[in-house]
Amino acid sequence: MRVAFSEAGIHRLGCRRWPPASLWLIGPPGIGKTIVSCFLVDKLQELLRDSESPSAIFAYYFCDNKDEQRQKATAILQGILVQILKKAPELFDLVKRYYRIKRGSFPGNLDALWRMLVQILNNSAGPIYVLIDALDECEEASRIELLALLADLDPSTKARILITGRPEADIEETGQTAGGHLLRLDSAKINDDLSRFIDMRVDELGRKKSYPEKLIQDIQKAVRDQAGGTFLWASLVLKDIAATKRAQSARKKLDSMPSDLPGWVVVSRRPMTVIELATAAALGGPESWDGGAVPPADVIDELKDGFRCCRPLLYHGPDDDTINLVHQSAKDYFVAMDSLSPYRVNREETSMKILETCWRYVAMPEFEQGAVIVSRTDTSQLVPTKLSKRVLDAYGFLGYAAEELRDGGQITERLTSITKFVRKSQSLDPSSVLRDHWLAVSVSAGHVEGVQALLDKHADTTARGSGWDWYPALHLAAMKGHAAIVRLLVQSKCDVSHVWNRQTALHMAAKSGRAETSRILLENGAEVNAKGESGQTPLHCASDASCKSRRRLAS
């Protein structure tokens, strides 16, 4: 579907010559599906007001995965039914038996809602137009149910249904088999329409604001050059420029128009607060803070409004003070590997930037080179520190940095990035406690490359993790059967005879039935007759493990 075509095509959509059918508009994020939907909403409402068929009804629904209330298929049907019944209350008699009289609400059951809609579609005096935008943002399980119902809809009904969405397999399959028409949007087809869209919006801007012709031309060129094949970018940037009151302000806005989305907002695992982003900007921006200590409050305050330069693509959540992307399409578009936009965010580079900035922050003197978030006991155990509300309030970036560098299972997902950061760093000595914490995590996870990189940076192999992984590195690797890591640790001069908790690493390997790690330890001088707890040797442990294994097999 083309924007230029829509102006003419909308007349066919809005009159009786459009046969009852479903129309499926499929395209990648940011390509302009919602722009088309908004255009159709405006035009269809206008045309139906002047229609030869006064009984025609139009209802629409925009799905939104940021709002739990707008993610369910039941919410879609409830929203459409409310609009239809408000415009044609006489149809209520058809469905009142489904309506919860006492509670005054629609049923929450999808099948009941669908029966209500079908009853109305079959008995309406005129055609009913239904538009559902961004169906891909509907929660998957209920979306699949809704698609099955749409696929079974009798084509003889008076419904004209338009559905837009991304090319999810279930949406495409239904669009191809439901007896309607499936149209695909891609950048190659949309570029002409995007140019027309920009020209149209810039012309409107010029008329409303009376901007100088040169400024209009510059806006037009800048937006075209930076649109990257997406309506999303162009529409939001033009909206932001239109909000200015003077030509001078519009010029300033144009000159500061972001050439890239803030990578932290796109890549961050959770929404960041204004203070967290401001601190990140102070530490890792083009004019990085180099005071040798935590950036002071006045520096952070100056940077708090930094997100406003990208306001067309970001919104500020006043309830939790976080900064988010205005639309899921923005994130998906800018991280897509095949994105044509020159402003695509490189996930790997940005992840590295996040690690570097968080490391720099916690390595500062105020945080005792990381010891504030991970402490080392007298017995070399590394214990994550619970940060008080007072500390978190005083240092607004510390909580985020701790999550990124230290916390639980989340960190195992990022060991590849951490390994690259370790290799890139000249030295990790200023925050050795975090270095050693990463070694414990890498050994536990069996991350060979991470262990090698950390050993190269002189990580302490006697340091112990917390929880179930409270063993020294060699004991832990032997127990878990990470043979390659055992070999690395032995090569790094780890003492195979080291006794911890009255056991050697060979005791741990034998107890766990780890034949390969036991062999490596024996080849490197581990004592097979060393006595551990209760006087047991590794041979006793291996025998016990073998008996237990045989008993398990027998049972």
Report the first-to-last Cα separation within the chain, whole angstroms.
65
Cβ 325 vs Cβ 29: under 8 Å: no
Judged by average pLDDT, the poorest of 81-85, 432-436, 539-543 is 539-543
- Does the pLDDT value for residue 322 go beyond 80? yes
pLDDT at residue number 228: 61
Longest Cα–Cα distance of the chain, Å, equals 98
Q: Are strands 314-317 and 322-325 parallel, antiparallel or unpaired?
A: antiparallel
**Across the beta sheet with 272-273, what order do the strands follow?**
272-273, 322-325, 314-317
pLDDT at residue number 81: 92
Average pLDDT rounded to a whole number, residues 20-38: 77
- Does the pLDDT value for residue 56 go beyond 70? yes
What confidence tens digit (pLDDT) does each residue in 370-392 have?
888 888 888 888 888 888 899 98
pLDDT at residue number 2: 39
For residue 297 the two structure tokens come to 């409050």
Phi/psi of residue 119, nearest 5 degrees: -60, -40
Judged by average pLDDT, the poorest of 111-115, 143-147, 298-302 is 298-302
Q: Would you place residue 108 in the very low, low, confident or very high pLDDT band (cuts 50, 70, 90)?
A: confident
Query: Which amino acid, residue 95?
Result: V
What confidence tens digit (pLDDT) does each residue in 153-200 have?
887 787 889 999 988 889 988 888 876 788 887 665 566 777 777 888
Would residue 186 be called left, alpha or beta, if left means φ above 0 and alpha means ψ between -120 and 50 degrees? beta
CA–CA separation, 161 and 54 (whole Å): 19
CA–CA separation, 348 and 371 (whole Å): 27
Query: Which amino acid, residue 483?
Result: A
What's the burial of 232, exposed, middle or buried (CB within 10 Å: 0-12/13-18/19+)? Answer: buried
Rg of the chain over Cα atoms, rounded to whole angstroms, equals 31
Single out the residue of 420, 418, 422, 472 nearest to residue 444, CA to CA.
472
Enumerate the β-bridge partners of residue 273. 322
